[in-house]
Structure 1
Amino acid sequence: MSHTELVVWSAVLIGLCFGAAGQATGFCLMRGLANSWTLGDTRKLRSYVLAMAVALLGSQALVAAGLVSLGASHYASPAPSWLAIPLGGVLFGYGMTLANGCGARALVLLGSGNLRSFVVLTCLGLAAYMALSGVLAPLRIWLESMTTLALPARDLPEAIGVPAWLTALVLGGILLAWVLSSATFRASPRDWLGGLIIGLLVPAGWYATGVLGHDDFEPVRLASLTFIAPIGESLQYLMLSTGTRLGFGVSVVGGVIVGALAMALLRRDFTLRAFDGPGHMLRSMTGGALMGIGGVMALGCSIGQGLSGLSTLALTAFAALAGIVAGARLGIVGPLALSKN
């Protein structure tokens, strides 16, 4: 088996685990924020933060072991846009409230029989490619070029002058302390198992592409879990697969859908669901489009930046995640909140 085939099969396995865990546990940042802000229930939010801490500690352990160099990822930019990244995060965060979940959650719901998610994912993928290389790309590139900021450091350890392993231990310890401070969360295996499993899949992604995919002549691009560009790439692959090579991102996307489908059938939770009406459909289409455009601007989504990006300790990840939370706040309890009825 070649190194590229090994990466593809590893990606499928990672996707299967993500889809199954996401379907069984309801792992979702948007749901976590909504429950916390409107119901005072922080279990789903703590599950997400647990995944963040596990992803951070696991990924930095790979770095400390000399297995991967996360500085080679696209998150560690020395000259990011000070406007496009947080603004993209806001667009993504607001979009996921309109679509009732992020792109990763939409993949899981599609595997569970939710036909609404097919529309969300189609709009997300089309909008992402419009912003990446389509009609919106010139505007995005212009905005980024006009707001580029040369940073003295690319990541948090470099910015504060502390070794990466120590930064990861301190930050990860703080996150874990908050997560485990809730007796309700500790008594909810469904939530802490979801956070633990999905958090571990992030370093698994780095290992698959950075170690299994290493080759002196044809290296695989370093990547881990992220879903904006891969959803667009998946749509493209379905249409133009002849003569193209299956990659890590598309393989993960396919694995997520199949993993969620298998878990839904196993739990007898597979149910076909459609839109309640035209307004519901329009809201979901708009949400998908905003997530696609915003995710490209922010260099990732709630999984891509919130888990994979933050695991590299890149400064862009903190800015993007802050924007995503702010956008979600606008859509859930802020002045732009829309009734789901």
Structure 2
Amino acid sequence: MLTSVVDLVGEDLLSWLGGLAVGSLFGFFAQRSRFCLRAAAIEFSRGVSGQRLAVWLLTFAAALTGTQLFVALGWLDVSNARQLAQQGSISGALIGGVMFGCGMVLARGCASRLLVLSANGNLRALLSGLVFAVTAQAAWRGLLSPAREWLTGLWLVDGGPSRDIMSLLGGATPEKLAFSAVWLLAGFAFAFHSRLPPRLLWSALLTGVAVVAGWVFTYQLAEASFSPVTLKSLTFSGPSADVLMLVLNSPHVRLDFDLGIVPGVFLGSLVAAAWARELRLEGFSDGLGMRRYLIGAVLMGFGAMLAGGCAVGAGITGASVFALTAWIVLVGMWLGAGLTDLIVDRGLPRRASASPAVGDRGNA
């Protein structure tokens, strides 16, 4: 399908354009749907069946169901995806997931949400996103890499069937598709219960479709290319660090799918916010709030690299192929977010400058 396009523009440029397009799709509809794992986790921990939880469930279920539907139809093969084929870390997934969950509550947004809000003029999110990227790079190849490697090595799991959670339970593609459909029905049920407006419902579904589009595009590109192409979809920890190094180090790097994601999400969110007239500059109100954001960004940056992905990269993209470690990361994120909200936010006296309520717009 993509062979003629590869011949016309080249594999590297096409890969970058694909990342840009998929990122733009995600950024536009994530901005319109107010997609945010942090807000959904807080609603869940507080026992509230609100719209943020419904949006997250619909996005998650759309990515899960769409990916498994393409696999069932024979249009996608995810067996070579990094989340399944390579060696993983149970200890890294659990510890990193909890750290990321704690960090996203402190920073009032996960990595993808910070990027979306940065494009809307939120300077708090922009600074937090930069600190996240710096920390992610330090954890991957810099000063923090020895600590990450030690924690990762505590409990390893081989690639292959042992990383496929459904295979471990004796299931295959039909069971994966059926399980995904249950999540989708749950998403619609929560949307109905919370009276989610149709605009948010469709935007949430299309946010999840962006993950499916990433898988399908890279798979088709791998089929059309003569050189090896890594099967992947949306994630933000690695690409954020790569874009940072591109800006600081050298512009002469090979274009790929990951390098297109971050500018794509920024562009998509910018267009969505401009279309809805929601562009506005926002900054820090005090030093205490700034410290909170920065601590949260550091926890997310290290936690994402330790866990092998962020709230989207592991929590949705990895989960959509039923990677064992991704589901462990997801559980860790929800636990970390709930505990941090309980201790830090609900444990403090109510003040006028307290964190936004569960039902608000959820800006960082």
| Fold shared by both chains (TM-score > 0.5) | yes
C-alpha distance after superposition, 1:290-321 (max 9, x if no partner):
10100011111111111100111111111010
Measure the CA separation in 2 of the matches of 1:161 and 1:78.
Answer: 21
Structure 2 matches for 1:203-222, cutoff 5 A?
203-215=212-224, 217-222=226-231
1:198 aligns with 2:203: no
Measure the CA separation in 1 of the matches of 2:312 and 2:141.
Answer: 22
Selected match of 1:277 from 276, 283, 286: 286
Query: How far has the Cα of 1:163 moved from its partner?
Result: 1.6
* Corresponding residue number in structure 1 for 2:317: 308
SS at match of 1:285: helix
1:59 aligns with 2:67: yes
Structure 2 matches for 1:112-261, cutoff 5 A?
112-149=120-157, 153-164=162-173, 166-182=174-190, 183-185=192-194, 187-215=196-224, 217-261=226-270
Measure the CA separation in 1 of the matches of 2:179 and 2:149.
Answer: 33
Selected match of 2:93 from 82, 85, 96: 85
C-alpha distance after superposition, 1:77-117 (max 9, x if no partner):
56532322111000000000010000100011001000111
Measure the CA separation in 1 of the matches of 2:347 and 2:112.
Answer: 22
Selected match of 1:287 from 270, 290, 296: 296
1:329 aligns with 2:338: yes
Letter paired with 1:102: C
CA RMSD of aligned residues (A): 2.1
* Corresponding residue number in structure 2 for 1:32: 40
SS at match of 1:190: helix
Identity %: 32
Name the TM-score, length of structure 2 as normaliser: 0.87
C-alpha distance after superposition, 1:210-247 (max 9, x if no partner):
11244554222111011111111111112234320222
1:69 aligns with 2:49: no
Measure the CA separation in 2 of the matches of 1:197 and 1:56.
Answer: 12
Q: Residue 15 of structure 2 contacts residue 255 of structure 2 at CA under 8 Å; is this kept in 1? A: no
* Corresponding residue number in structure 2 for 1:95: 103
Measure the CA separation in 1 of the matches of 2:213 and 2:262.
Answer: 15
Alpha-carbon distance change, 335 to 284 in structure 1, aligned in 2, over 3 angstroms: closer
1:5 aligns with 2:13: yes
Measure the CA separation in 2 of the matches of 1:286 and 1:332.
Answer: 15
Q: Residue 227 of structure 1 contacts residue 304 of structure 1 at CA under 8 Å; is this kept in 2? A: yes
Letter paired with 1:304: G
C-alpha distance after superposition, 1:257-301 (max 9, x if no partner):
111111211211111000011111111111111101000111111
Name the stretch that deviates more: 262-271 or 237-246. 237-246
Name the stretch that deviates more: 74-83 or 218-227. 74-83
Alpha-carbon distance change, 208 to 149 in structure 1, aligned in 2, over 3 angstroms: closer
Measure the CA separation in 2 of the matches of 1:6 and 1:102.
Answer: 28
Alpha-carbon distance change, 217 to 150 in structure 1, aligned in 2, over 3 angstroms: closer
* Corresponding residue number in structure 1 for 2:50: 42
SS at match of 2:29: helix
Measure the CA separation in 2 of the matches of 1:39 and 1:80.
Answer: 33
C-alpha distance after superposition, 1:105-134 (max 9, x if no partner):
001100100011111111101111111111
SS at match of 2:79: helix
Alpha-carbon distance change, 143 to 223 in structure 1, aligned in 2, over 3 angstroms: same
Query: How far has the Cα of 1:202 moved from its partner?
Result: 0.8
Measure the CA separation in 1 of the matches of 2:230 and 2:134.
Answer: 23
1:320 aligns with 2:321: no
Selected match of 2:276 from 263, 267, 286: 267
Measure the CA separation in 1 of the matches of 2:226 and 2:168.
Answer: 33
Q: Residue 330 of structure 1 contacts residue 336 of structure 1 at CA under 8 Å; is this kept in 2? A: no
Measure the CA separation in 2 of the matches of 1:317 and 1:121.
Answer: 22
Name the stretch that deviates more: 25-34 or 206-215. 206-215
Letter paired with 2:89: S
Measure the CA separation in 2 of the matches of 1:193 and 1:93.
Answer: 26
Letter paired with 1:4: D
Name the TM-score, length of structure 1 as normaliser: 0.93
Query: How far has the Cα of 1:198 moved from its partner?
Result: 0.9
Letter paired with 2:273: A
Q: Which runs of 5+ in 2 are unaligned?
A: 1-8, 355-364
Measure the CA separation in 2 of the matches of 1:33 and 1:45.
Answer: 7
Q: How many residues were matched structurally?
A: 340
Query: How far has the Cα of 1:57 moved from its partner?
Result: 1.7
